[in-house]
Amino acid sequence: MAVTILIVDDLSDMRTLMSLTLKRSGWNILEARDGQEAVDITRQHQPALVVMDYDMPTKNGAEACREITTDPTTSHIPVIVYTGHASIHIKEESYKAGAKQFLVKPITPTQLRQEIQNLLTVSNLDH
């Protein structure tokens, strides 16, 4: 059975690009448009991993990450937070919120797949 990954970004073009890239690796993809939708979908569908933009409406990536990683029903799900802002404050906030990885755009398809594969392997959810 294929592993499901949740892609979270308020920009539809970014979600589409990431989804196409990850589908080629054989993963099932769910999408969310903002932090609150990410939390709701994570609770409902229990994806193997969440890849989330930091800069979003409703809840930013760190706020949504914190909610996912502190909820006993979703705390086992690894979260990758990414951003276009190479700020140490954003990086620290994301890691304090429970992110397992923090990436700065631009992110190559190879880099994204490798980071996901590494976390899935560590989580014993490799497909």
Domains for the chain: give ranges and CATH numbers.
4-108 (3.40.50.2300)
Tens of pLDDT, residues 83-101: 998 899 999 999 999 999 9
Tens of pLDDT, residues 55-73: 998 899 999 999 999 999 9
Beta-carbon contacts of 106 under 8 Å, excluding residues fewer than 6 positions away, are none
Question: pTM of this prediction?
Answer: 0.95
